[in-house]
Structure 1
Amino acid sequence: MEALIDDITTTGGSENLVFFVRLVGAALFGGLIGLEREMQNHAAGLRTHILVSLAAALFVIVSTEVPDLMPEDSDVLRIDPTRVIQSITEGVAFLAAGIVFFQKGTVKGLTTGAGLWLSGAIGLTIGLGLWTLGIFSSVLGVIVLLVLHRIEVRTRLSRRKTKDNRSGEA
C-alpha cells in the first residue's frame, strides 16, 4: 500500500496543481467553442469539445513528463514534441472528419469539425502552458463563430430576397 501511495505522490504537489489547472483551463477554453456549437444545436457540442480539448492537453502534458519518468542513464528515450503535436492533430482531425457529411447537395458539419480541431489546438497550447495563446485562440474562435454566423445569415437572407424579387419579375 505504501508503494501505491508513493507512486501517486511521486510528482510534487505544486507540479500536480499546475497540471490540474492546465487541464481545467483546457476544458474551459475548449468548451467555449463547444458552447457556441451547442447553442446552434450541432451534434458535437459542449461535452464533445471539452473532451477533445481535455484529451489534447492530457496527451501533451504526459508527453512532456515522460522524460522525467525514465532513468537518467536511459539513451533510448528521445521525445520529439512535433511528433506528439502531429499525433494529436491527426486524432482530432479524424474525429472532425467524422462529423462532416454530404446531405441534399450541401456539406454539413464542416464548421463543427473545424471547431473540434480548434478545441484540440486550444487544449494542446494550454497543456503546454501557453495560456495567452490558448485563451486568445479560444476567444477569437468564439468571435468568429458568433459574429460571422450572423453575417452569413444576413447575407443568405439578402440573397434569397434578391432571388425571390428576380423570379417575381419574370
Structure 2
Amino acid sequence: MEWFDELRTLPGVLYAMALGGAIGFERELKDRPAGFRTHMLVAGTAALLLGLSRMVLEDGRYGGAGLQIDPLRLVEAVVAGVSFIGAGTIFASRSGESVQGITTAASLLMVAAIGITVGFRYHLLALAITVLALGVLTVLRWVERRARSGGPARGD
C-alpha cells in the first residue's frame, strides 16, 4: 500500500473532527466538563478506526491471510471506549440530589456515532445528525427554559 492510499482516510477524519467540534463548541460555551477538543478527538477517533479497518481489508498484504473484520464489532469497541469517557463527565453532587454531565456524556456518544457514520462514508447523514444534535442542545434547551418560566406573558 502506497503512502498516498493511507492519506485517503485523512479527509474523513478531518470532517468528523469538524462535525464533532461543532457540538463540542456548544458544550464549551456552556462550560461543560468535555468541550471542543474532547468532542473533536472522539469523533475523529471513531472515523479513524473505521477508516483504518477499511484500509486493512483493502490492503493486499492481508488479503490472503483470511483476515475478516466485522464493522459492527468495531462500532461496539468505539461505543465501549466512549462510554468510559462519558462516565467521567457525569458528576453527582455530594448531597446526592442532583446529577450533572449526563447531556455531555450523551453528546460524546453522539459525536462517536457521527464519527462512525463518517467512517462508513455516509457524509451527508453525518452532517444531518450533527445539525439535529445541535438542535437538541440549543433549541430544546431554550424551549425547556421557556416552559419552566411559565412561557410568554399574557398579551405577548
Q: Is TM (by shorter chain) over 0.5?
A: yes
Looking at structure 2, the residues matched to 98 and 38 of structure 1 have their Cα atoms a distance apart, in angstroms, of: 16
Corresponding residue number in structure 2 for 1:66: 56
Distance, in Å, in 1 between the alignment partners of 2:17 and 2:46 is: 10
Gaps of 5+ in 2: 152-156
Task: Please point out which of 3, 10, 13 is paired with 1:23.
Answer: 13
Distance (Å, rounded) in 1 between the aligned partners of 2:29 and 2:73: 35
The separation in 1 between residues aligned to 2:87 and 2:150, in whole angstroms, is: 31
Matches within 5 A, 1:21-60: 21-60=11-50
Deviation at 1:19, TM superposition (A): 1.7
| TM-score, normalization by structure 1 | 0.80
**Is the CA contact (8 Å cut-off) linking 2:56 and 2:62 kept in structure 1?**
no
Gaps of 5+ in 1: 1-8, 160-170
CA deviations on 1:45-66 (whole Å, 9 max, x unpaired) are 1111001001111111111111
Q: Provide the C-alpha distance between the structure 1 equivalents of 2:63 and 2:144, rounded to a whole number of angstroms.
A: 56
Aligned length: 148
Shift of 1:11: 4.5
Query: Which has the higher Rg, Structure 1 or Structure 2?
Result: 1
Name the CA distance, whole Å, in 2 between partners of 1:71 and 1:110. 41
AA aligned opposite 2:115: G
Question: Is the contact made by 2:9 and 2:52 (CA closer than 8 Å) also made in structure 1?
Answer: no
Distance 1:55 1:78 in 2: 21
Inter-CA distance 11–68: structure 2 relative to 1 (3 Å threshold): farther
User: 1:73 is matched by which residue type in structure 2?
Assistant: G
| Greater helix fraction, Structure 1 or Structure 2 | 1
For 1:29 and 1:142, the matched residues in 2 are separated by 10
Misfit runs of 4+, over 6 Å: none
